[in-house]
Structure 1
Amino acid sequence: MPAHAASYYAASSHPQPDFPSLQGAHTADVCVVGGGFSGLNTAIELAERGLSVILLEARRIGWGASGRNGGQLIRGVGHGVEQFAPVIGSEGVRQLKLMGLEAVEIVRQRVERHGIQCDLKWGYCDLANKPAQLQGFAEDLEELHSLGYRHELQLLQADEMHSVVGSDRYVGGLIDRGSGHLHPLNLALGEAAVARQLGVQLFEDSTVTRIDYGPQVTVHTATGQVQAKFLVLGCNAYLNDLNAELGGKVLPAGSYIIATEPLSEEQARQLLPQDMAVCDQRVALDYYRLSADRRLLFGGACHYSGRDPQDIGAYMRPKMLKVFPQLANVRIDYQWGGMIGIGANRLPQIGRLKEHPNVFHAQAYSGHGVNATHLAGRLLAEAISGQHGGGFELFAKVPHITFPGGRHLRSPLLALGMLWHRLKELV
């Protein structure tokens, strides 16, 4: 059975059952490819609506970004959704923003309803590196109030920042009590258990080798096949060559995390006095939080080059020390990375294939995957089961370009573009 990445999450996860690999011929209403948050939540939502579901995972449940991300559960989907007003109108933009709030509530309800033990803790703070960003937070606060956001928000000035983070690096912040952080792999494992209880058949170590499209879709692995009325592709950055049309619209980008040794209560309180998750606003952003056993989990440094650092710890530690020089003598116990899916316009790609309308997909969460995947699962299930809430159609209306340069050149080209954005930050 394939192993998880050697992360803090894998080392501290609940016992994980081994699901069988696919053997022989099977049929279902829906075949879901991908055992991360997108696939698991689509499967749950479909099963709750009475459809039979088979889920295929190439490695292990939660193996990809779902099981090794920063664990930050933050409101919102997409970046700058106002840009889509010419396509979906101002009311459509407002609906996208409301769905960005609903996405977090879906996670909250799933965890509470099923008693999933994933260290879920509420409290998050956006960090401003420049005064203009703090002004942007003030505008965000007003907009969230106008959307009827029911959770506590608080704008912080520079002299109040030590109440949230023990660093002099920031000029302000926006506290959001309706966002938070959790153990992502344990959430994925808990959701796999929910799916199984609902009758979903889950298969691991079952890489899809070929898809035969048509009114009935046939999905092949090395040792079996699934025939289904509908197919859902939820592979995101790990889609590889499974579907060329979708693969050209999502760029795998590397993101990296280090975990310190467990800190004393005093050390932890000094770094993050309110035990919030936090994130700054730079292009190569820093995001960090405390684990349940008081380790600092420090992540960021999104890489578009397609090449991982040779030594993730050596690469990330200086970034951590710029924020917290007081950790100079603290040991790094874990270091890991993984791929997140980036789309050109930074809006999740939720839709169906034009040539094959019984094939649905969700990908390109651009760093907001913990909440957006759960929203995607609900929207896909509504569309497949014939419900018409409108959310799926809204996402499907937004066009998504194919990255230029083909498979081998699109990563270097985007890396050059992101370097330009980073240079702009220095001006």
Structure 2
Amino acid sequence: MTDPLNNSYYAVTAHIWRPRAFEGDLECDVAVIGGGFTGLSAALACAENGFSVILIEAEHIGFGASGRNGGQLIPGLRWTASELEAEFGRERADALFDLCWRDNRVQARIAKHRIDCDLKSGHLEAAWTPKDFDTMKREADYLAARFGYTSDVVAKADMADHIASPLYHGGIHDPQGGHFHPLNYAIGLAQAAVAAGVRFVEGERVHRIAEFSDGSNELFTTRTIVGARYVIDATDSWIGDVEPDLGRYTVPIMNYNIATAPLANASELLPTDAAVADSRFVLNYFRLSADKRLIFGGGERYSQTPPRDISAFVRPFMAEVFPQIADAPIDYGWGGAVAVTMNRLPHIGRRGNVFYAHGFSGHGALVTTTAGELVAEALAGTAERFDVLASLPSQPFPGGKWLRRPLATLGLLYYAMKDRLG
């Protein structure tokens, strides 16, 4: 299918991916729906545990957010570690910290499979207001004292060491974070999965899952039926198309990115080559590609209709941060949907032999790999770490099928207005 949102730098620079066709019955131990980070990591881990696995993707590997996001690797969840402890207590906060901050499974997979995806270290959270900077400093002190997790507090006067922009009031540089080429990471996971025995079906959409009393399942796709003992639903923004009741827990928010032409002054813009995300609710996030383009994401739209010219839509946000390249040529502009939950924490769980993980709320480049591997652990019979994430609270958006998105949009617009008012 032609995708008007995928004039993507990642698609143009992606490694070759041609899954080999397979013959035989469409029967397996585990059927995975969705070829993004969650589904790929779950499929790979299940195959490594000895299960026969079929992964079904409606389009192609990395088609969704996994293959078109900003490429920012930000440790943790959308809630800070101190917020998690205040809400859930010390023991659960410890377990969440170990999984979502300390345990970098993306880096481990890249190293194990020698995935070529332009991995770089360093992430900078930039403070939009002095109040934001004070909050960041308190959290950095808490992380260091409570968990021994160290990051660098960057005063406003020192921000020029990291970013050539006067907008920010300081920041936190986290050397454990970083950035990468997300589509090439997805393809690397897929290649590792093929080597482990996973069979791929691309270009077939799952419309329905039938669950039987003996625990077995059948997946009805565009052209066939797949039988499986276990199912992992990793469709994220499209989960409501497969399981409508789970679709109530997220709404899609459209994000847009641009990639400039290679810049002669790229290293002056971001001297430490760290990825940057600022502290606004509707945030800007940006980084340098391996070939010295600025990849910049800015603005959100709550309509599913993309702007007529994505590059023109994003350019003003880039120019606000970097006026020195306001007129730089833009070679690519693309976008996609981010599935957001009510509380911005992921929605993970199981119903019988059907597992699901979705709603990473724009903070999923690291935790999706963890979630996929934890689903595989639970499926194999060891659910303790899976339960840590599955126990996170969740609730559906109010308003039912027709009003859910409009009501969510009103709430999001309120916080976006607070950004503008300071």
Bin for the TM-score computed over the shorter chain = over 0.9
Contact 2:289 2:295 in 1 (8 A): yes
1:255 alignment counterpart: 255
1:345 matched residue in structure 2 = 343
Q: What's the counterpart of residue 162 of structure 1?
A: 160
Specify whether residues 344 and 24 from structure 1 end up closer, same or farther in structure 2 by C-alpha distance, changes over 3 A only: farther
Change (3 A) 1:23 1:57: farther
The aligned counterpart of 1:402 is 396
Q: Is the 8 A contact 2:81 2:143 kept in 1?
A: no
**TM-score, normalising length: structure 2:** 0.94
Alignment of 1:2-401 (within 5 A): 5-18=6-19, 20=21, 25-80=25-80, 88-103=88-103, 105-149=104-148, 153-214=151-212, 215-264=215-264, 267-353=265-351, 357-388=352-383, 390-401=384-395
Q: Per-residue deviation at 1:210? A: 2.1
CA distance in 2, matches of 1:321, 1:86: 39
Task: Give distance in 1, aligned partners of 2:418 and 2:372.
Answer: 37
For 1:351 and 1:108, the matched residues in 2 are separated by 25
- Assess, with a 3 A threshold, how the Cα gap between structure 1 residues 392 and 149 changes in structure 2: closer, same or farther: same
Q: How many residues align?
A: 418
1:147: Cα distance to partner?
Answer: 4.8
| Cα contact 2:208–2:243 (8 A) shared by 1 | no
Distance 2:221 2:41 in 1: 22
**3-state DSSP of counterpart to 1:208:** coil
Return 5+ residue gaps in structure 2 as ranges. Answer: none
What CA deviation, in whole Å up to 9, does each residue of 1:108-143 have, x standing for no partner? 111011110000000110000111111111122123
How far is 1:69 from its partner? 0.2
Q: Distance in 2 between matches of 1:19 and 1:2?
A: 22
Asked if the contact 1:67/1:184 (under 8 Å) is kept, the reply is yes
The reply on whether 1:421 has 2:415 as its aligned counterpart is yes
Partner deviation per Cα, 1:238-295 (whole Å, 9 max, x = no partner): 224210111110111101101101111xx11221011110000101100000000000
Q: How big is the shift at 1:398?
A: 2.9
| Counterparts in 2 of 1:225 and 1:292: CA distance versus 1, 3 Å | same
- Structure 1 residues 138, 352: CA separation in 2 closer, same or farther (over 3 Å shift)? same
The 1:415–1:334 alpha-carbon spacing in structure 2 relative to 1, beyond 3 Å, is: same
CA distance in 2, matches of 1:367, 1:137: 19
The 8 Å contact of residues 273 and 288 in structure 2, kept in 1 or not, is answered as yes
8 A contact 1:29–1:230 mirrored in 2: yes
How much does 1:395 deviate? Answer: 2.2
Normalised by the size of structure 1, how large is the TM-score? Answer: 0.93
Letter in 1 for 2:364: G
Task: Measure, in 1, the Cα distance between the counterparts of 2:225 and 2:267.
Answer: 53
How far apart are the structure 2 equivalents of 1:122 and 1:244? 39
Query: Cα 1:97–1:298, aligned 2, differ >3 Å: closer, same or farther?
Result: same
Alpha-carbon distance in structure 2 between the residues aligned to 1:131 and 1:328: 26
Residue 316 of structure 1, CA deviation: 0.6
CA RMSD of aligned residues (A): 2.0
- The letter for the 2-side match of 1:52 is S
The amino acid across from 1:336 in the alignment is W
2: CA distance, partners of 1:301 / 1:211: 36
CA distance in 2: counterparts of 1:6 and 1:149, whole angstroms: 42
CA contact (8 A) 1:259 1:298 kept: yes
Unaligned runs of 5+ in 1: none
Runs of 4+ in 1 over 4 A off after TM superposition: 1-4, 22-25, 80-88
Q: Is the 8 A contact 1:23 1:223 kept in 2?
A: no
Q: Distance in 2 between matches of 1:24 and 1:115?
A: 31
CA contact (8 A) 2:82 2:139 kept: no
For 1:2 and 1:386, locate their aligned partners in 2 and report how far apart those are by CA, in whole Å.
41
- Deviation of 1:27 after TM superposition, in Å, equals 1.3
Q: 1:238 to 1:102 in 2, by over 3 A?
A: farther
| 1:335/1:394 CA distance change after superposition, 3 Å | same
Cα offsets for 1:173-193 (capped at 9, x unmatched): 111111000000000000000
What fraction of aligned residue pairs are identical, expressed as a percent? 41
Contact 2:248 2:401 in 1 (8 A): yes
For residue 86 of structure 1, report the CA deviation from its aligned partner. Answer: 8.5
Contact 2:80 2:139 (C-alpha < 8 Å) held by counterparts: no
- The offset of 1:422, in angstroms, is 2.4
